[in-house]
Structure 1
Amino acid sequence: MNIGVVVDNEFDHDHRVQKEIRLLQDEGHTIFVLCFDFKNTYKTYPDLTVNRVRIHRKLRDLFVLLSTNFKFYERLWKNNITQFITNNNLDALHVHDLYLAKAAKKGIQKSTRNIPLTLDLHENYPAAINSYEWAVKGWRKYVVQPQKWYKKEGEYLNYADRVIVLSTSFKQNLLERFAFLKSESIYVHPNMPDFESFQTFEKNDYDVEFDSKLPTLFYFGVVAKRRGIMDILPWMIELLEEGNQFHTLIIGPTDKADKTLFQSYIDHPILKDHLTYIPWADVKYLPAYLKKITIGLAPFQVNAQHDSGVANKLFQYMYGEIPILATKCKAQQELIESAECGLLYETKEEFKTELKRLIANPNLRQKLGENGKKKLLELYENRADREFLEIYRE
């Protein structure tokens, strides 16, 4: 089957999408990708056809800013999707993220090819956009009007023949809110890492320069208020002031709106000697970092967006047999409690108590880490990340 995959990014660093494509190729499908070209240098893929829409990043960002009430972004994608379907003789279209659903459906109609549309939800988008600083602060909130996406959600879901979600709890949430959705049309695909790729990374024995003699806390991912990392940094300062000894390693890009605040923590007279920040690292180095880590952090703010699925960092910590300290977002709480692979907190005092408990108890850390790896292997054995393949077998 010729399957067209559409993502509104540069594709090269979208590991979830790349993993899905590899699994589809293993099933014998031929995959074509439609993504953006921001005039950078990109990888070549000998077993994959990648079609890129050339556009200046600032123009794309402007279209996104206006996309709630204006159709510039929708038309851009509709026209390119129509051509994408026709040129590659596609049998099915697999589109990532809610906001592309309407453009995808119109593109299919304009192509005159009656092919099925799969909508792959990476998050609860209405909740997500209402948490983005760029969308809810200052004059932008009047242009973006992010609250309108709560009303648009049902319309956009209805364009799809099949829907993919991150967790069972989010699937149930959608079924409760939208009567037209059918359970058999929604597939759960958790953000589990590409196990084969991680094993290859380890075999290559990549080395990293970071090392600390102190117990090390690790946060891997976007640095932003909405991710909760800004909430716990002041608590870490308190713990250091109280005489606790640990180091924190943070790897990931910082949201533009939060750079000033985050820099103030990096420069804090107490924290600066106990924190290492790396703006970006290729995922191939992640197994090497995990071998130097004591505790994995998942401090996401509890809201509808973060309740919708488990972030890939939790599965990455589990792969590295790292105990997890996390908030009680619904999906990640369910995973951590079922696997017995970490500790949970709701308040500052609970965070401090549980962190000190983990630092002081290496046997507990080892047990939680082993439980996490065991659970992850069970998920792979049960093919939890392959349910979506049934869409194309049908």
Structure 2
Amino acid sequence: MQKTIIGMIFHGEYPTHPRIENQALHLISEGAEIHLFCVTYQKKKAGMVVHKGINVHRTYLPNWMYKLSALAYTFPLYHRLMSSHLKQFIQNSKAQTLHLHNMNLAQPVFDINQSAKLPIVLDLHENVPEIMKLYPHLQKGLGKFLINPVVWKKKEQEFIKRSAAIIVVTNEAKEEVLSRVEIDDSKILVLPNFTDDSFIKPEYDKSLAARFKSKFNMLYIGDTGVRRGLESVMKAIPLLINDISNLNLIIVGSSSNDENLRVLMQKEGVENFVSVEGWQSENLLADYVNVAHVGLCPILRNLHHDTTYANKLFQYARLGKPILASNSTAQKNLIESESWGLIHEANDPEDFAKQLKKLYLDETLRTQLGQNAAKSIRKKFNYSSSEFGIEFYQELNLR
């Protein structure tokens, strides 16, 4: 039987990217050959390497092209410069199906594919046209005038129609796409950001556990930008410390908003209740989840957040940690339907404090919610239980 060869295309650097890597490893476990196109801004990393069984094809780009990529659907220069690299990748990989991770490189891929006519899967990790409205560089200066989310949305809709299949993260994202693009709903596969068994370690970092042993730890993993909602958590801490004297917020991540968060910590007088860890190795994330009593996802509400799941939800759940999350629609529906945790009103410090206090005071509740989360990950929220696998691609090639 002919081997199934899948060519994944990503506009960013790899490793690592949990969604891409977990998909690739699952497909490899089923016998597929995976080739991944990505970029690097370091010449010494350019070329082809094998990482965890994934054939990674890195194309070197000078740093100025990173900024140019934001103008991809304003001026064609970025896509023109990428076309030859993508064409070479498609030819060298001998891919039978192309899997586009997000829409950033969709235009040149669809243009190149007019002759090859390979099935293209468009994997929308996020609602890029909506979320880019909130990017700081689109709020001011030239970015405000040169980068138009409306154009990105029109292009996204075009690519959705032209793709053989669409993958989205949540049922809410599927409904949102169907509300604005006339396609058959069978064309869309819902595939959350599952966390596989490798996230569980036989032994966790003892020094990290010792650092946080005496604390009641709230954990946040990820980007710390304003839309992630950490400001409301900072403001909630003063409302909690009289009742929870050993309260500690662990932040694993960073962003250009960090200085604003530092100023807010000082203003609220909570510096001694926050551990700012910055970005950490992917290998250490499970060690941080291990020391947490509660996993946080306080994201603010917007069309993108209301239709997506953060990777962190499944990382918390995989290790059996109860979750305290905002009422952004998709995560609220998931957490409430599966009884993984409690929900607070987004951007509401008082309600956050109220719900956190419930979890602190009721260890039995925390344990039950954590057990529910871990069980449903094992039974339901994993690649083996999904419709995603090698047959998904084989069927596309038979159409």
The normalised TM-score by structure 2 is 0.90
Q: Residue 98 of structure 1 aligns to a residue in which SS?
A: coil
State the identity %: 28
Q: Distance in 2 between matches of 1:175 and 1:277?
A: 40
Output the amino acid matched with 2:326: T
Gaps of 5+ in 2: none
1:227 and 2:228 correspond: yes
Equivalent residue number for residue 164 of structure 2? 161
The range that moved more, 219-228 or 36-45, is 36-45
Cα deviations by residue, 1:84-142 (Å, 9 ceiling, x for unpaired): 11222221111100232222101222xx3221111111101111111212222343211
* Poorly superposed stretches of 4+, deviation over 6 Å: none
* Structure 1 equivalent of residue 10 of structure 2: 7
Cα displacement string for residues 130-185 of structure 1 (whole angstroms, at most 9, x for unaligned residues): 12122223432112123432333311322311111001121122112211x22221
Asked whether the 8 Å contact 1:187–1:388 carries over to 2, the reply is no
Q: How many angstroms does 1:287 deviate by?
A: 2.5
Residue type at the aligned position of 1:10 = E
Distance in 1 of aligned mates of 2:128 and 2:39 = 20
Alpha carbons 2:10, 2:38 under 8 Å: kept:
yes
Matched with 2:219 is 218
Root mean square deviation, CA, Å = 2.1
How far did 1:249 drift? Answer: 0.5
The answer to whether 1:90 aligns with 2:89 is: no
Q: Could you tell me which of 29, 52, 56 is aligned with 1:26?
A: 29
Flag the 1:388–1:2 CA change in 2: closer, same or farther, 3 A: closer
Partner of 1:308: 307
- Measure, in 2, the Cα distance between the counterparts of 1:191 and 1:381: 9
Instruction: Provide the rounded CA distance (Å) in 2 between the counterparts of 1:393 and 1:216.
Output: 46
Asked if 2 retains the 8 angstrom alpha-carbon contact of 1:208 and 1:288, the reply is no
**Structure-2 change in CA distance of 1:143 and 1:304 (3 Å):** same
The aligned amino acid for 1:251 is V
Q: Answer with 67-76 or 160-169: which moved more.
A: 67-76
Secondary structure of the equivalent of 1:66? Answer: coil
Cα distance change on mapping 1:235 and 1:74 into 2, 3 Å: same
Residue identity opposite 1:11 in structure 2 = Y
8 Å contact kept, 2:204–2:290: no
In structure 1, the partner of 2:178 is 175
Distance in structure 1 (CA, Å) of the matches to 2:382 and 2:42: 41
What do residues 218-248 of structure 1 show as CA deviations (whole Å, max 9, x unaligned)? 10111111111123212223433x5542111
Amino acid at match of 2:358: R
TM-score, normalisation: structure 1: 0.91
Q: After TM superposition, give the deviation of residue 267 of structure 1 in Å.
A: 4.4
Partner-residue secondary structure (3-state), 2:240: helix
Summarize deviations over 1:181-207 as a string: whole Å, max 9, x none: 222211111001122x113xx125444
Residue matched to 2:75 = 70
Corresponding residue pairs, total: 384
Please give the secondary structure, in 2, of the residue aligned with 1:4: strand
Q: 1:113 aligns with which of 112, 116, 133?
A: 116
Q: Do the aligned residues in 1 keep the contact of 2:335 with 2:341 (CA within 8 Å)?
A: yes
| 1:108 aligned partner, one-letter code | N
Contact 2:37 2:56 in 1 (8 A): yes
Specify the SS of the correspondent of 1:184: helix
- 1:372-391 → structure 2 map (5 Å cutoff): 372-380=373-381, 383-387=384-388, 389-391=390-392
Matches within 5 A, 1:130-279: 130-179=133-182, 181-195=183-197, 197-199=198-200, 202-209=201-208, 210-240=211-241, 242=242, 244-245=244-245, 246-254=247-255, 256=256, 258-268=257-267, 270-279=269-278
1:50 maps to 56
